[in-house]
Amino acid sequence: MLPYRGTFVVGITSAGNQELTINWILSLQRVGYDTKHVVLMCADRMSYKFFRERGYAAVRLNKRAWAEISGEIGWPLQTPPETKDTLTIYSEPYLILVKNRLALLLYLLMNGATVLFHDVDVVYLKRFPNGIDRAIDLLHAQPNKTVLMMFNREPTEFIEYNMGLFIVRPSRESIEIFAALNAYMFDKTMQESEIDDQNLFNMYVLGTRYNKDTAHLKAFVGGLPFKEFLPGHTTFANRAWPPKNGPFWPMIQSNWSITYDHETPGVVHANWVLSYEKPPRMKEFGVYWANDNELLKQANLLPEKQLQQSKKQPS
């Protein structure tokens, strides 16, 4: 579990998102990233056991560790229920996972870590210098920014950020932002609303709510280049990119490793798609490898049943 170029690359997973997590890891491996640098924060024993047994840097914080973090940041934490079902948005297990993600991020920032956070329905498409390196380079190039985030949809006069992928460095401002989001996530009024950390971030930082207190924070938050870090609103939901008759389509269909430029994406996020629709939509776009047994075997990510079968086969 090593930081990559001084940045912790973190994915948050649960048993219900195991296949998507595998797909995220495979997408990183396909573009040449060494996944020994990835830290998998597991919300339950099942996901922790699966990835840990296969040699990945999986971490599941026990009660003692959660108690330590809770004491440092000032809010109680819960472990999400053990379930193999995909977490439904705004359900209790989903909100617990969101709270814990925010708490973990705040803890890392308070201890001086720079963090590149991922939802596991993110897919990497291009080799470096795009993708992970690109996000780190952009943050290093803008010392006046403390958080760089994907856009949630096409940026126009209406700006909305997406927490599927963002990079954040420790600073007074970033700690102020994420400490406030932690506090609001534990507020009972918020718990009764259909609201998560992304909604809160946009309301808090962009000033659609709490404007008087937070206007000064806007200057410290920036967006990752839209054409390089595409949300699902443009891709998986509306199918606006890639155009099937466009010049890149044959290369995209074959391997999605397009020659680096600033006009084609290095990362897409499968948001704007319901959880049960994500795998079929990603398959449609040719970016779902979590049921490719050969790739799974190479990455030591075979599910238990196939793993046992492969052990029985003569080498």
CATH number for the domain spanning 100: value is 3.90.550.10
| Domain presence at residue 287 | yes
Q: Per-residue pLDDT averaged across 132-142, rounded?
A: 92
- pLDDT score of 141 more than 50: yes
| Domain presence at residue 312 | no
Q: pLDDT tens-digit profile of 77-128?
A: 666 666 666 666 667 777 777 777 888 888 899 999 999 999 999 999 877 6
For strand 267-269 and strand 122-124, is the pairing parallel, antiparallel, or unpaired?
antiparallel
Lowest mean pLDDT among 75-79, 128-132, 171-175, 265-269: 75-79
Q: What Å distances lie between residue 264 and 33, 111, 147, 231, 260, CA to CA?
A: 19, 36, 23, 13, 8
**pLDDT score of 84:** 64
**pLDDT score of 205:** 78
Mean pLDDT, the chain, rounded, equals 79
Q: Give the N- to C-terminal CA distance of the chain in Å, as an integer.
A: 31
Q: What percent of the chain has pLDDT over 70?
A: 75
| Domain presence at residue 155 | yes
Q: Please, are residues 227 and 264 in contact by the beta-carbon 8 Å criterion?
A: yes
| Domain presence at residue 310 | no
| Domain presence at residue 30 | yes
* Domain range for 117: 7-302
Q: Cβ contacts of residue 261 below 8 Å, gap of 6+?
A: none
Q: Report the number of distinct structural domains present in the chain.
A: 1
Whole-prediction pTM value? 0.85
| Domain presence at residue 315 | no
**pLDDT score of 260:** 41
Q: Please, are residues 125 and 287 in contact by the beta-carbon 8 Å criterion?
A: yes
- pLDDT score of 152 more than 80: yes
210 versus 20: the higher-pLDDT residue is: 20
| Domain presence at residue 125 | yes
| Domain presence at residue 251 | yes
125 versus 172: the higher-pLDDT residue is: 172
